[in-house]
Amino acid sequence: MCIYTICLENMQFVGFHGCREDEKIKGNVFTVDFEASYRGIAGETDDLEDALNYGAVYRVIASVMRGERVNLLETLVHRILSEVQGAFPQVLSMKVTVSKHNPPVDGPCMRSSVSAVWPGSFGEPAEGMRQQAGQMQQAGEKE
């Protein structure tokens, strides 16, 4: 038994994600890089049933990228991690990067990107994070 890592690199999708109205109408090109580690015996058996099927992983990622419009790259990253984790319980860890091509900034920029890893603080509730941010802000105001 080994721990294997699969990588899906430079997957490209057209999506209508972003905070600005023109992004939601015209769309943009997004690139996804994905890496996942899993424990398995596929190298010993040479059987796809014993592997993490990267074609099936691609379909999950594509469904997120082509699915519901969202404002933030962070939301896309979170949904990819969550959906892959739910569909493939054998996954031990993942890293995903979502990049938006030609982001709407005041100057030349090829891509903006957000990455996240799982496991990590991925499962922490948003409300808890908001409370921490409020506590940090209050602490800064006291100084």
Q: Which residues are catalytic?
A: 100
Token code pair at residue 105: 């900034």
Q: Is the dihedral of CA 83, 88, 91, 97 positive or negative?
A: negative
String of b and e for 107-128 (b: at least 16 CB within 10 Å)?
eeeeeebbebebeeeeeeeeee
Token code pair at residue 45: 């058996």
SS3 content of the chain, % helix, strand, coil (to 5): 40, 30, 25
Extended strands (E) in 41-123: 91-101, 111-118
Query: What is the rounded CA–CA span in Å between residue 7 and residue 5?
Result: 7
